[in-house]
Structure 1
Amino acid sequence: MLGMHESYSFLLFTVYDLQGADLQHWIDYAKSFFEIDNIGVVAYFYPEDDLFWQRNVDPGQYKLYGKSLDGVTLRPFNKVSSLIDVSSLPGYPNEFDNLWFGSTWKMIYGEKYFQFLSREKLISYPNAYAVEQLKNQAICITLFENYKSLLYG
């Protein structure tokens, strides 16, 4: 998905069973918005259904799909039910001024993003699998070697 704002653009990719050259094609395509066109502000690659789970507030969905609620914070909804507090999930997505903030398997940040989060903090993030400095001051951060490790540990 390509999102446009009056002064910037962002890209959202959901990765399903892509391997090797197919996956690298989409990564290179995303990087081109930052390195060649210099119009990208942020791009992010969500593995499979991770975005769904990062935004899901229904504990019933966890039970339906056999996912554990251990470590998930619930907040009261009404007298008989609770909702998941998605802000308690690691890397939950949020938006500020129509701009994505969160974390997932792979993220690319352009120069305009650094007004919100410093380039130095991104480059020095200690828990990343890889941090790559791209042309035009852009940064690509990969949190895990394989996107499936985010889903299956």
Structure 2
Amino acid sequence: MGLNQNEIIFKMVLPHESFTEENIFQRLQSLLWFEPTEVLMMSRGVTVPYRTESIHHVLRNEMKNSRFTFRIADSDEHKNYVSFTKLRYHSHISLLFDGEHVEVSDIIERLDKLVVNLDAITAFGMSRDDFFWQNNQDPKYYKKHNKPLSDVKIIPDPILTNRQRVDLRSLPGSVGYFQEIPFTSSWTMWFGPSFFNYVSFEMLMAYEGFWQKEILDRTCVRVSLYEHPWEYELPENRELQWRFKRYMNWDKIVEGLKTSGEASTASDPAIEFLTTQLAYGGDIRVNYYYNDDRQLVPRSQATMVEAYELQKNGVVVWSNITKL
């Protein structure tokens, strides 16, 4: 693709309720680890110089729109940028930085705070180059860049007749989406409390193949599959991606969500998280609500609750099943 292999991309998904003018303005400076030079209103194709004294006015006007994307970037071919996007279902923050000149740990620390403070649903980070190849569906790019097609599966395009495309399910780091929420197996990932409306918190925490795992706040979890984001081509790291993808069964989850379009709501959750009145030495209590058929259902419809108390490292210190 001709991209700088030191470039790392992060993508974060937020509920619209968190994507407010006040929240973004309060945290904008923590996202500007670089010297910004311009602001791009990408939805309108307009670029203006970045000026500290006017940036709030520029962003305020842009955020009045129901759909938008604006990007704050540097002058070095946009090797560093932060972009804000509002789509139909959710809002998004994306970052790109050159890891050769920026401490990755510093960006991780900033994102940890952002994910927690903005109640992010999920986020992920990976090499920009790998992000492209793991999600490119056009076989022509492989031929153009002399990359073998032997490791990917080619299938008929379901929309365009007489065309072929790469089956992204044949790649370990591809991203599947449901209502703009990404489900992926990448270098580093964050999962916020509302993400566990779609998958089991206990299942995620029980996975033993992480290089690093940390509960940041309540049920906000950051995990890394391997240490260095640029080492994605190492066979052992590709295998780590495959193992996690298969363990979580991302393809089936996305397929099922697209079919049913269902997830439990925050006001009547199927999975509940508690951080107070913990009696067994844990840091978090997780309640799963089931009906008589052992299906996760909203709390108001449940006939039993399966409870776990966990420490921050994911160790279960207590569990119990109670009939309701």
Alignment TM class, shorter chain as reference:
0.7 to 0.9
TM norm structure 2: 0.42
Residue correspondence of structure 1 range 1-150 to structure 2 within 5 A: 3-7=13-17, 10-14=92-96, 16-18=98-100, 22-35=103-116, 37-77=117-157, 78-79=161-162, 82-150=164-232
Partner SS, residue 199 of structure 2: coil
Q: What's the offset of the Cα at 1:116?
A: 0.8
Q: Highest Rg: 1 or 2?
A: 2
Q: What's the offset of the Cα at 1:2?
A: 5.3
- 1:92–1:103: 8 Å Cα contact kept in structure 2? yes
Compared CA separation, residues 15 and 125, structure 1 to 2 (3 A):
farther
> What is the rounded CA distance, in whole Å, between the counterparts of 2:14 and 2:210 in structure 1?
28
Deviates more, 1:140-149 or 1:69-78: 69-78
Q: What's the offset of the Cα at 1:5?
A: 3.7
> What is the rounded CA distance, in whole Å, between the counterparts of 1:95 and 1:11 in structure 2?
16
Identity fraction in percent: 25
Compared CA separation, residues 41 and 3, structure 1 to 2 (3 A):
closer
TM norm structure 1: 0.82
Aligned length: 150
What do you get for the CA RMSD once the two structures are aligned?
Answer: 2.4
Q: What's the offset of the Cα at 1:13?
A: 4.1
Q: What's the offset of the Cα at 1:54?
A: 1.9
Equivalent position amino acid for 1:30 in 2: L
Unaligned runs of 5+ residues in structure 1 are none
Compared CA separation, residues 13 and 107, structure 1 to 2 (3 A):
farther
Compared CA separation, residues 136 and 34, structure 1 to 2 (3 A):
farther
Q: What's the offset of the Cα at 1:15?
A: 5.3
> What is the rounded CA distance, in whole Å, between the counterparts of 1:127 and 1:66 in structure 2?
33
- 2:13–2:93: 8 Å Cα contact kept in structure 1? yes
Deviation per CA, 1:92-145, whole angstroms, max 9, x where unpaired? 112112211112110011111111111112222232211112122211110111
> What is the rounded CA distance, in whole Å, between the counterparts of 2:17 and 2:180 in structure 1?
11
> What is the rounded CA distance, in whole Å, between the counterparts of 1:152 and 1:16 in structure 2?
21
Partner SS, residue 46 of structure 1: strand
Equivalent position amino acid for 1:92 in 2: S
Deviation per CA, 1:20-59, whole angstroms, max 9, x where unpaired? x621121111100233x15111111121212211221122
Compared CA separation, residues 76 and 98, structure 1 to 2 (3 A):
closer
Q: What's the offset of the Cα at 1:73?
A: 0.5
Q: What's the offset of the Cα at 1:68?
A: 2.1
Equivalent position amino acid for 1:6 in 2: H
